[in-house]
Amino acid sequence: MNSEKTQPRITRESLQEALYLFQFIRPYRFHFVAGLILLFLSSGVFMLFPYLVGIMLDVAQGVVLEFDLKHVGARMAIILVFQGVISYWRIKCFAVVSERTTADIRLALYERLIALPIVFFERNRVGELVSRLTNDVERMYNLLYFVLAEFIRQCVVLLGGVVLLTWMSPRLAGVMLLTFPVIVIGAIIFGRWVRRLSRQRQDVLGEVNTILDETLQSIHAVKAFANEAFERLRYGRVNERVVNISMRAASSRALFAVFIVTILFGTLFFILGFGMYLVQTKQMTAGELIAFITYTAVVGGAIAGLSTFYTELIGALGATERIRAILRTPAEKEERPQVNRQAQRLNADIRLLDVHFAYPTRPDVEVLKGVTMTIPAGKKVALVGQSGAGKSTIMHLLLQFHRPQRGDIRIGGVSIYDYELSSYRSNFALVPQEVILFGGTIRENIRYGRPDAHEEEVIEAARKANALEFIQQFPDGLDTVVGERGIRLSGGQRQRIAIARAILRDPAILLLDEATSSLDAESERVVQEALDNLMEGRTSIIIAHRLATVRSADLIYVLDGGRIVEQGTHDELMARENGLYSSLARLQFNLTDVATSSA
């Protein structure tokens, strides 16, 4: 699970995942191929520079008489301009590929995420999903824009450099190939050890920051329990671990510095000394030695670069696996039997027939245990009972967020699973207890109920929801930005925006889930008036803990432990002295009377 703790590696499966995501490159394959060609060309041109520098030195010393410095300098200037032009178009080509491809991947991920069933979000944390949509796609972007190109470039430079070194001086190349790569690879391994300690330090430092964040977020609890000393000790222990790991990392960096100075540079000086001996014995020129040393440094840099880019490549492969895991998860409609029956306006009785249900995340806990009920068309039906009785679960099943393990739900005698899903859900509107608005304007949030609604319809919906008055008091009116999750509006205002959204949708079936439970008395009165307007002439299913809000319901079902234990009107249920509903009602109404008399 934690990719930071394990060493990633290339496997056949990871390569298959990567090749799958490369289908997103297909529309831009011409840019990709052109970029690769320009990459090979620019790498080849780059390898000319050390050779030209050596020629210039030999010309300056009079060893080479065919050219003069101006001639060589002019050629170098032409090559520089040519290299610049090639690099420009190479970067442009890879930019098109990376930007367009990652945009397509982001869109594909987003489309897949919003099409996934609710159970997927119950099993996965939102923060992790957001990470996949941002961090992993960003890794793909880096792979396409920079890492892949540079990895290929370093391979070309390494192979080209070795070939040129062997051609220039086989003896000196033999010495270099026997010693220098071993030293560079040793330095790479040493560097990985240092980076591993650095990651450990970052992990522990993350624990320090977590403790700090938890303490400050819960400062009232810390002080209320007089646990300042406890928190100080807890923070101090983790902080000491940071110091210990940091000192180990510092010792490793010091050893690494000694290794670089003594071994790596010692090897370079040895190659340089042997090369000077060859110059002294007229076996090579000074210019050739300079070119050779430069190529040696280029080859060493390519080896080190391959290690770095290999690590990045492995990380990108891990990101492709996580992205692919989402893209291959079956969408909500893919999990259902494919049906084409369009749901027209569902003005018919709703029947639950011996419904048994347990949430997939808790399969051993049965929430509904053989529920059978009828919700007459056009009537107000209330579901009441203690928390956990199964009221909200029934709404979830009606919206087809889940499917019962046994039993069926029918509207007008037709199973709800025989309808095409989008057309079926278009018959519903939901007003929840905790209304979550989008971060745009009031107009955009109301119009979310029907995006193609006209301005006059939006205003009329706001009026029927008792929201138009407070909206008009804002300087920007309907253009008022509600803030993230509607934070700039009060609870009652958010509820009325949600009701206006539902009114604009004009649903056949209305679901009200504790729509007024979190409001004060005055806000509840205004919202209840708006709800009465909304429920008029349509099937309404109401969940309420405050039984006073369901007195006017045409039918009340009382649930207890996943079963229906009572049903009837308010008066009928109150007449049952030992009934659950009457017990709950007497308790609530007596408490209300006590609160009213105390006030």
- CB-based contacts of 96: which residues, under 8 Å, 6+ apart? 28, 31
Q: How confident is the model at residue 191 (pLDDT cuts 50, 70, 90)?
A: low
Instruction: Enumerate long-range contacts of 306-312, CB under 8 Å, 24 or more apart.
Output: 306/151, 306/154, 306/155, 306/158, 307/188, 307/191, 307/192, 309/147, 309/150, 309/151, 309/154, 310/151, 312/142, 312/143, 312/147, 312/151
| Mean of all residue pLDDT scores within the chain | 80
What pLDDT shows up at residue 2? 43
Q: Pick the range with the lowest mean pLDDT from 305-309, 451-455, 504-508.
A: 305-309
The answer, yes or no, to whether residue 303 has pLDDT greater than 50, is yes
Q: Which residues lie below 8 Å from residue 64, measured CB to CB, with a gap of 6+?
A: 55, 58, 285, 287
Phi, psi of 513 (to 5 degrees): -110, 95
Contact indicator for 431, 510 with CB cutoff of 8 Å:
yes
Q: What pLDDT does 353 receive?
A: 92
User: What φ, ψ does residue 47 adopt, rounded to 5°?
Assistant: -70, -10
The highest-confidence range among 310-314, 334-338, 475-479, 563-567, by mean pLDDT, is 563-567
Give the C-alpha separation, 348 to 419, whole Å. 14
User: In this structure, what is the dihedral angle of CA atoms 84, 90, 95, 101, given to the nearest 10 degrees?
Assistant: 180
Contact 46, 157 (CB under 8 A): yes
Stretch among 62-71, 181-190, 516-525 having the lowest mean pLDDT: 516-525
Calculate mean pLDDT across residues 60-84: 77
- Per-residue pLDDT at 71: 77
What would you report as the CA-atom Rg of the chain, rounded to the nearest whole angstrom? Answer: 36
Q: Taking the CB of residue 448, how many other CB atoms lie within 10 A of it?
A: 17
Is pLDDT above 80 for 309? no
Q: What is the mean pLDDT of residues 141-165?
A: 82
What's the pLDDT score for residue 538? 85
Pick the most confident of 54-63, 168-177, 460-469, 524-533.
460-469
What pLDDT does residue 146 have? 77
- pLDDT value at residue 599: 40
Question: Coil, strand, or helix at residue 131?
Answer: helix
Q: Who wins on pLDDT, 18 or 130?
A: 130
pTM above 0.85, yes or no: no
